[in-house]
Structure 1
Amino acid sequence: MREPTTLSSWTGALCRQLDSLGLDSQALCRTAGVQLPSAAQAPCRLPLSATSRLWTLAVQHSDNPALGLDTSRFVWPTTFHALGLAIVASDNLLHVFQRITRYYQVVTDALAPTLQADGDSYLLSLRQPSDSAAPHPAAVDAFLAIYVRTCRQRLGRDYAPQAVLLRRLAPSDPSPWHNTFRAPVQFAASVDGLRFARADLLRPLADGHPQLAAHNEALLERELALLQRPWSQRVEAQISQHLAAGEPSAERIAERLCVSLRSLQRHLHDEQRSFEQLLASIRQRLACEHLTDPRLSISEVAYLLGFADSSSFSRAFRRWLGCSPSQWRARHAS
């Protein structure tokens, strides 16, 4: 089964909420196996299995099954990176939810939102991909509450959707859900989602900024393209980019790709590749390219490939092609 991932900054919002309740979010993260990056590190992507364990612990330790409904108060516009900024700059709510459904994978691939017109309303559905586990119900609550909070920030505090659909079974006390959404809530539904009045989604927003939204959409398109490439290609691109700074470690490349080392190793294993294979393959290819340039010395080629010295490069080259770099260069000299 495929392991979905979630942007670490989204889990960071949950941690801020736990801290505000007097709970030790760092201890709960360690127990759940969640490794959040430090403030100085780039955000990463966390496996759904780990974040679901954190949600379970959060609900247990807070003794609040409705915990996810309040997580939206700890979400910042930058929590969802360029998607959050594109949402803030959208000129109507229809564009907000169209952007969410197009770029959701930038935040998480654990849920696949769809937006369908249905007469005088729109239905936003959060569907679980068939090849992955379901997110924790509290996480689903949090996403839907964030969407409604976004509507209220743009249309006014009294805004309410037409209806709320939740796959979770009805809790013993449903009042927190009714109080949060201020709309009819259907539990044990076939899908998680929100129903909106068509007129509300089409209402122009005075604070929209189409140029800013378009700028962030361009960033999102690039990010989406990267996310949809095979993992081996993503790793190869990062290795090529960082070789001249020294031999890149798997840990460093994992950090650049916003995943944990364990997740990166698992993704490569699924593609029947390893980091060591990719590193050697790229070095061999680039070595042959560089050696055809007579302006580069053997030492300079070794440096460009991230080797500590020319001797290390020569030994590796012999393993690859059975001869020294200078011999290979002499044979292929034009």
Structure 2
Amino acid sequence: MPRPPARGGTPLRVPARYYLRLAEVLPRQGVDLRACLRDLGLSESELQQPDASIPFAQVDELINHLLDAGARSDTAFELGQLLSVSTHSIVGFGMLSCPTLEDALRFVARYFRLVMPSFRLRYTIDTGRSELLFTPVIGMSRACLDFHLEAIAIAALRDIDDLTGGHRPRSRLTLSMPEPAHLCRYRALRDVECHFDANASPQVRLTLFGHLRTLPLRLSDPNALQVAEERCRSLARQVTRVGRFSDWVMMTIREMGDGVPTLQELSKMLNLTTRTLNRYLEREGTCYRELLARVRFELACERLAAGQMSVTEIAYSLGFHDSANFARAFRAKAGCTPSAYRQRYGIGAADAQPAGRGSRGMPRPRSAIKLS
């Protein structure tokens, strides 16, 4: 089961603002959100405070409690439709201020942990298409997982509609869950091809077709974007203070999508000198080069198993100058070539990750998250 980065034993907390929006959905279904919150010992007034958060374990309890109380199967779908870009606080402000749709998606990928810490977002670009991949970073019940997959998927479509003024490009949406009872609602989505795969690793995959850099945003504002970037960096530093610098560095390398941030770029995000960040990492028994190699290897395993990119494309996406250097580095870690790894462990799921070691010392891709 994946776990959130170390926080000294502190439970993972998520923004309360998203779940409070259920108060706009549940009354139509005859479900009393306030009563459910009281049953779980949650204070509505405290959750309504600015920047209030809630332990994710209690979110899991809340979702299951609402379903037991009679919430409809499409509750998460309706919640996702309510979550506009502005709901994401300073991250949403930064997205709206970006010059193009591609820039906005890169921005939210960098700071998605500030939006929903229980999930990770990766943004990648291929020829003529872009892809958003959302995966959980903490174990949860099946009901809670499916609820979040739906809400995140529909909210992502709503975000892109908001950013483009309703001119969202043609899309393909894949959710790792069975076809829902309200399948007709997905079929009614405009220009969205929807797929459900209950056997895939837990994820939401949203593919956008076209060149997103050619889609300008009407609210673009360089000065506002600078303010948002500085504020998000400040919040990232606060997150780092309660954890480990190595956790944050690895998380940021993963979430940058295409391209690999340099040590200088990471230092700038934290408003530290390169020497200072190096010193902090040394205190934790590691260094940037070691962390980069670890993340590169994990991403290489994921992308090889997914089967959607050639070995050369994977090499370039991970910052290698050519496929030969990538192949040598991969063989040194895995004990086999990238092609052999793909043939042996390809499982068709782009978020497969190493989980333990096989009989020949080769990391096995993880096909599913063990749910508690």
- Normalising by the smaller structure, the TM-score range is 0.5 to 0.7
Contact 2:84 2:162 in 1 (8 A): no
> Is 1:53 the equivalent of 2:61?
yes
Identity %: 14
User: Distance in 2 between the 1:138 and 1:70 partners?
Assistant: 11
Deviation at 1:58, TM superposition (A): 3.2
Written as runs of structure 1 = structure 2, the 5 A alignment for 1:10-49 is 10-19=18-27, 21-38=29-46, 41-49=49-57
From 125, 133, 141, give the equivalent of 1:125. Answer: 133
Secondary structure at the counterpart of residue 130 of structure 2? strand
Task: Tell me the equivalent position of 2:224.
Answer: 212
Please state how far the C-alpha of 1:46 moved relative to its aligned partner.
1.2
Q: Contact between 1:163 and 1:183, CA under 8 Å: does it hold in 2?
A: yes
1:256-276 CA-partner distances (Å, limit 9, x unpaired): xxxxxxxxxxxxxxxxxxxxx
Change (3 A) 1:218 1:115: same
Given that 2:171 and 2:191 are in contact with CA atoms closer than 8 Å, whether structure 1 keeps it comes out as no
C-alpha displacement of 1:187:
0.7
- State the Cα distance separating 1:126 from its structure 2 match: 0.4
Q: Does 1:91 pair with 2:103?
A: no
Question: Cα deviation per residue 1:21-80 (whole Å; 9 max; x = unaligned)?
Answer: 453211112234544444873332212221122223334445421221121343355532
Letter in 1 for 2:58: A
Task: Kindly provide the CA deviation profile for residues 91-114 of structure 1, in whole angstroms up to 9, marking residues without a partner as x.
Answer: 221122112111111122211000
Q: Which moved more, 1:55-64 or 1:84-93?
A: 55-64
What are the ranges of 5 or more consecutive residues in structure 1 without an aligned counterpart? 233-334
Structure 2 CA distance for aligned equivalents of residues 132 and 176 of structure 1: 28
Q: How many residues align?
A: 232
8 Å Cα contact 1:28/1:58 also seen in 2: yes
- What is the TM-score normalised by the length of structure 1? 0.61
From 151, 155, 162, give the equivalent of 1:146: 155
Contact preservation (8 Å) 2:47, 2:53: no
Conserved 8 A contact 2:94-2:228: yes
Residue 203 (structure 1) aligned with residue 212 (structure 2): no
Structure 2: gaps (5+ residues): 5-10, 245-372
- Residues 1:26 and 1:173: Cα distance change in structure 2 (over 3 Å): closer
User: How far did residue 209 of structure 1 move?
Assistant: 1.6
Choose which of 171, 179, 186 in structure 2 pairs with 1:177. 186
Shift of residue 132 of structure 1? 3.8
Q: CA RMSD in A?
A: 2.8
Cα distance in 2 for residues equivalent to 1:65 and 1:59 = 8
Q: Could you say which residue in structure 1 is the equivalent of 2:366? A: none
Helix, strand or coil at the partner of 1:43: coil
Q: Which residue of 1 aligns with 2:236?
A: 224
Taking structure 2 as the reference length, the TM-score comes to: 0.55
Equivalent residue letter for 1:206: R
- The 8 Å contact of residues 46 and 52 in structure 2, kept in 1 or not, is answered as no
C-alpha change, 1:173 and 1:40, in structure 2 (3 Å) is closer
Q: Using the TM superposition, give the Cα deviation of residue 195 of structure 1 relative to its aligned residue in structure 2, in angstroms.
A: 0.2
Asked if structure 1 preserves the Cα contact closer than 8 Å seen for 2:84 and 2:158, the reply is no
Does the residue aligned with 1:12 lie in a helix, a strand or coil?
Answer: helix
Give the Cα–Cα distance (whole angstroms) in 2 for the partners of residues 149 and 229 of structure 1: 33
Aligned residue for 1:184, secondary structure, equals strand
Change in CA separation of 1:197 and 1:217 when aligned onto 2, cut-off 3 Å: same
Contact 2:16 2:48 in 1 (8 A): no
Q: Which has the larger radius of gyration?
A: 1
